[in-house]
């Protein structure tokens, strides 16, 4: 049985989740993520595995990003790893990169938080 959805390299369904979020490029030193350069991203979708985003900067595969996701009055910080990045020409004449991010080191509370967001979208 094929575990991927359609012909894409994903195993979980995506849900539309339009948000602009400030993220930080991170560098890992001694198992600690250190925030470096800020980067504004536009989130397009969310799944239990990660986020689909657009950004104006090409991101390297396996690069780590730190973001804060809001759900009503509650927010939570997440670490995500860049799985892929490709150039995407948008119809409004702005060029951006489409990027696939994977959640890293999720706790039980993180999963519950993500589940609440997805449950509200459905």
**Residue 100: closest CA among 41, 55, 46, 51:** 51
Domains with residue ranges and CATH for the chain: 15-121 (2.40.10.220)
Q: Encode the chain (122 residues) as per-residue pLDDT tens digits.
A: 445 444 455 567 888 888 888 888 877 777 776 777 888 889 999 999 999 999 888 889 999 999 989 888 889 999 999 999 998 876 565 658 899 999 999 999 999 999 999 999 87
> How many degrees, rounded to 5, is the angle at CA 108 between CA 107 and CA 114?
90
> Which pTM does this prediction carry?
0.81
């Amino acid at each position: 049985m094929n575990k991927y959805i359609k012909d894409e390299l994903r195993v979980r369904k995506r849900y539309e989740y339009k948000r602009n979020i400030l993220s930080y490029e991170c560098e890992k030193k001694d198992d600690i993520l250190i925030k470096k350069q800020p980067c504004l991203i536009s989130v397009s979708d969310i799944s239990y595995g990660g986020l689909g985003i657009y950004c104006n900067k090409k991101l390297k595969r396996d690069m780590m990003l730190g973001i804060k996701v809001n759900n009503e009055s509650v927010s939570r910080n997440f670490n995500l790893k860049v799985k892929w990045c490709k150039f995407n020409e948008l119809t409004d004449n702005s060029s951006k990169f489409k990027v696939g991010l994977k959640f890293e080191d999720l706790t039980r509370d993180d999963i519950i938080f993500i589940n609440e967001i997805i449950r509200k979208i459905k």
